[in-house]
Chain A
Amino acid sequence: MIRALWANIDYVASVVLFLIGLYAVIAKNNLIKKFMGINIMETAVFALIISVGTVRHGSPPIMGAGARAPFINPLPQALILTGIVVAVSTTALALSLIIRIYRQCGTIEADELRRLE
């Protein structure tokens, strides 16, 4: 078990990062910090999927003169490029909402907002 964990320590690191993000989402009071937690979780998932496609001593999958095998798996990289754009879009919307909340209520602390509600 320990050996398996050690061999896949890169994946375990992603899981730890994922849970750090989840902690921020649950425990932080400030809406921007909460959302930063979601950004951390996104990064963790992206890191996991990218590392699934890693090949040791691999080179970038760009063909042409001087390209030599083994190549790194291009599919997860393509997926995560899409994933990053999705994450940016969610961030843009979340920040817009936070700006509106601040303009209307004058605060972005979750407990004060709950009192206002």
Chain B
Amino acid sequence: MKRIAVIAVLVAAFVPLAAAVAQLPTFGEASNPTNTYLVPRYLQKGPEEAGAANVVTDVILNYRGYDTNGEVVVIFTALIAALATLLVRPKQMAATPPGDDAPRSPIVSFVVKAIAPFIAVFTVYLVLHGHLSPGGGFQGGTIFGALIILLSLTLGHKYGLSLLPERSRPWLQAAAVLAFIAVGLLGWALCGAYLAYPSYSQLEWVREGWLIALEIGIGVGGAAIFATVFWTMEAEP
């Protein structure tokens, strides 16, 4: 009975949705409104007026930088939400979680230790080169966060924690939002609007510098947040 009701709901939702998407402009045509209205300016002028050869980065960090500002706040919210729902006592995260002292395979530890420097270098490349090629702060930060999680799984919880010292951890977690607000306020004070970049063509290096500052902030903040969420979930109540 319940199954029939569910299927009825799904069919009732499918018919209008499918009919609506069928009437959208045909898939993949270069003449669609999405591809002819705003985008030509992004593609033609983006690298020059926004500062990055990768136009996706131009849109993320410059044209629609305020969205990305909101987005880094969303991951910060997720971190605080995880801490607020899971922590029950102080120093909970510093305690060794159950099963952490179980013997680990020496092969796994060796392989992880061997590839860790390469992963780290790769993330640095992704973050710093994101405005010129595919990649960027989020991608790099996520991989670095995964590296920290990998290390604390294979080399022990204590080792993982020592990568993000307790004193600086709250600052690192807030790095992305703080980077955005800093660049935003600089733009507000110097260039006339929140998150505005200097528009003179001689100041291209400033634009590029601000983009890189944002990418680094996002990368550091993302990595710190993902690692902390992992430790919080792992911690014994």
Asked if chains A and B are in direct contact (CB within 8 A), the reply is yes
Q: Decide yes or no whether B30 CB sits under 8 A from chain A.
A: yes
Chain B residues contacting A79 (CB-CB under 8 Å) are: 64, 67
Contact A81 B60 (CB under 8 A): yes
A106 adjacent to chain B (CB < 8 Å): no
Q: Which residues of B have CB within 8 Å of A7?
A: 22, 26-27
Q: Is the interface of A mostly helix, strand, loop or mixed?
A: helix
Chain B residue nearest in CB terms to A20? B10
Residue of B nearest to A13 (CB): B21
Say whether A96 contacts B59, CB under 8 Å.
no
Main secondary structure of the interface of B (DSSP, over half): helix
Q: Is the CB of B38 within 8 A of A75?
A: yes
Q: List residues of chain B with CB within 8 A of the CB of A63.
A: 43, 46-47, 53-55
Residues of A within 8 A of B64 (CB): 75, 78-79
Interface size on A, residues (CB 8 A): 55
State which residues 69-93 of A face B: CB under 8 Å: 70-71, 73-79, 81-82, 85-86, 88-90, 92-93
Among B14, B22, B55, point to the contact of A71 (Cβ < 8 A). B55
- The CA of A46 and the CA of B13, in the complex, are separated in Å by 18
Which B residues are CB-close (under 8 A) to A55?
28-30, 35
Please give, as numbers and ranges, the residues of chain B lying within 8 Å of A64 by CB-CB distance: 47, 53, 132
Residues of B within 8 A of A (CB): 2-3, 6, 9-10, 13-14, 17-19, 21-24, 26-30, 32, 34-35, 38-39, 42-43, 46-47, 53-56, 58-60, 64, 67-68, 70-72, 74-75, 77-79, 81-82, 85-86, 132-134, 138, 229, 232-233, 237
CB pairs A–B below 8 angstroms (8 shown): A10-B27, A18-B17, A63-B47, A74-B58, A75-B34, A75-B59, A82-B71, A88-B78
